Structure 1
């Protein structure tokens, strides 16, 4: 770890531990709340997928007809089937269903989804002015876009594997879906990038410069067995399935049992993580609250004492200034400071031996006593001469 990275880590730790750990406690509380919300959503998805019927494409139509007669709510189902292309037409005949197919540019495989990703791989060399790269490491990474993704799709359906075109089909509606897709990698190649004069200038000043281009192509091929989890309904008499935002899956390679195992494991992890983070945040926030409350009370007490002592001190200083003006006979000097005139008499002994400033100082002692007779005193009174 470089010195700049150590400085950044020290700054972050000081910020987290500021206010006696209150900032760290708030951050842990936020993480705990986020974890609890994720636990609730994951447990809800687990419950919905567990009760959702798992069936084949051929049995879906009868299930939808029964649910429409019983309830108006669209059911969530789990369907396992093979991928087949569907044209932009009505999708009634075999010819129209096979007419719209994508072909992979690299492998030549037929597919319904093709995703092309190009990722630039950068290299950092500090060069002669390498402090610039360290500065970027503290502030953030380079703002250059290092990855570009393009995706092509055609409408597709799910059918019973090995029985198409005799079997029924289910239309897959991808509109609004942000779920991950079960794509297969068919092309993966790293190509070097030739250096240029501009690359030399980038290296000279310690900037990042590209050294390679990772070209990758993923497809959803025809005939691949996948599982669709979502809301099913009729579209022009044909069953259609679309994604449900509350579920973490839509199209997946996993079976229903594998999904349930994965969600059950995530639910346990999120539950225990939320409990641990919540307990830590409560403990740290409680400790920070007590410490800051005590500090606030001490500050209030100091302010009260300062305000209480300010008025006597101001009066004493004003009186002292008046008393110090002119010459004071030796027999009337204060026995403590030997500078100012005797103006205060102690109670109950009644000795007039101190000035106002020194009398107040004697009163503030833990065990105030008269400097002459050593009797315990309760207070002092100023004596005015006419």
Structure 2
């Protein structure tokens, strides 16, 4: 670990342990609440997928017709359909079908209905002669530049059963509004070096990041791939069409229904026990922090009471001494040099000057830097002098 990472870790540790760990306890409590919320959503998705029927493409028409007969809502029914990917132009039945609407990979030449190309720049950083600039960037942010660019192209496609031809039974896949990950297959993966330029030398000289390589990837959803579609299926002009459901973590997946149920059950179990453990730890840390701060507040309150009682006691002593001293006349040579009202009764230590009454001596002792009013020497305390 570098010095910058150690300094950042030390700062984070100090912030987390502030107020006897209260900040850490609140952070863990927030994570525990998020875990329980994710557990609730995952359990709901698990119940929906477990109750959803797993049907073949050829059974969708009968399923939708039976749903209509039972007067179910017209917005569709949640189903799990497994089939093979094919282009929609194969079943259009018009002159456009003579020209297949399909995507072809630029590098491998494979055909598919979804084509995703990602270019990722790999950066190297040399501290250079002015490397302190990279330290500032490490504190306030890594880099504002876009290090990855992704392009996604899709064409309309369908699911058919076992690659049968002609495709009398099929379901249209509607990707509109879907943000679920797609079961893509990597067909091209290459790392290309980037040649240095004079501008690259200036970037390295001042400690800036500069690209050293470009990772180029192509992923497609190939024709004929066996996948599962999980979503709301409805009839569009007599043709089954399936859309994604935002409440479910799957839309198009390589897994079967049983595999999805097992995966969601495992996630739910991990989230539940994570929430229990993190919640228990946060309660313990917060309880410890509250107890420590409560004890500190009680000690501070007790100290304030002690100060107040000692001040009241000293005031009572001063009042009694003042009453005794004011009982008679005080010669001018024995008056306090501060108040000029009471008799000199307290001597300062270590200088030994007897120049103040007891009340003024106590007020001098309470100062931030107590000094003798005669010799200006720092004093530690005062001693009451009694005459015979």
Correspondences of 1:211-360 after superposition (within 5 Å): 211-306=212-307, 316=318, 326-328=332-334, 334=345
After superposition, what is the alpha-carbon deviation per residue over 1:202-248, rounded to whole angstroms, capped at 9, x for unaligned? 11111111011111111111111111001111112111111111111
Contact 2:15–2:23 (Cα < 8 Å) also in 1:
yes
RMSD: 3.1
User: Structure 2: which 5+ runs fail to align?
Assistant: 336-342, 349-353, 364-384
Structure 1, unaligned runs of 5 or more? 342-354, 361-370, 373-386
Structure 2 CA distance for partners of 1:302 and 1:192, relative to 1, 3 Å: same
1:36 equivalent in structure 2: 36
What is the alpha-carbon distance in structure 1 between the residues aligned to residue 346 and residue 24 of structure 2? 58
Larger mean CA deviation between 289-298 and 24-33 belongs to 289-298
Q: TM-score, normalised by structure 1?
A: 0.80
Contact 1:160/1:167 (8 A) holds in 2? no
Give how far 1:309 is off.
Answer: 5.6
CA deviations over 1:64-108 (Å, ceiling 9, x no partner): 111222221632111001111124x9x542764573212221122
How many residues of Structure 1 are paired with residues of Structure 2 in the alignment?
344
Once the two structures are superposed, the pairs formed by residues 187-226 of structure 1 within 5 Å of their partners are 187-226=188-227
Partner of 1:352: none
Q: 1:81 to 1:303 in 2, by over 3 A?
A: same
Give 1:1-386 correspondences, 5 Å limit.
1-70=1-70, 71-72=72-73, 74-87=76-89, 92-93=92-93, 96=96, 99-306=100-307, 316=318, 326-328=332-334, 334=345
Residue 384 of structure 1 aligns with which residue? Answer: none
Residue 327 of structure 1 aligns to a residue whose secondary structure is helix
Structure 2 counterpart SS, 1:212: strand
> Does the Cα contact within 8 Å between 2:120 and 2:215 map onto a contact in 1?
yes
- How far has the Cα of 1:333 moved from its partner? 6.0
Q: 1:49 deviation in Å?
A: 0.8
| Inter-partner Cα distance in structure 1 for 2:61 and 2:331 | 111
1:325 to 1:109, Cα distance in 2 relative to 1, 3 A: farther
CA apart distance, 1:325: 9.4
Q: CA deviation at 1:62?
A: 0.7
> Contact conserved, 2:116 with 2:219, CA < 8 A, in 1?
yes
C-alpha displacement of 1:55 = 1.0
* CA separation of 1:308 and 1:256: change in aligned 2, threshold 3 A: same
State how far apart, in whole Å, the 2-side matches of 1:336 and 1:205 are.
68
Is the 2:42–2:267 contact (alpha carbons within 8 Å) kept by the matching residues of 1? yes
Q: 1:67 to 1:333 in 2, by over 3 A?
A: same
TM-score if structure 2 supplies the norm length?
Answer: 0.80
Offset at 1:359?
A: 11
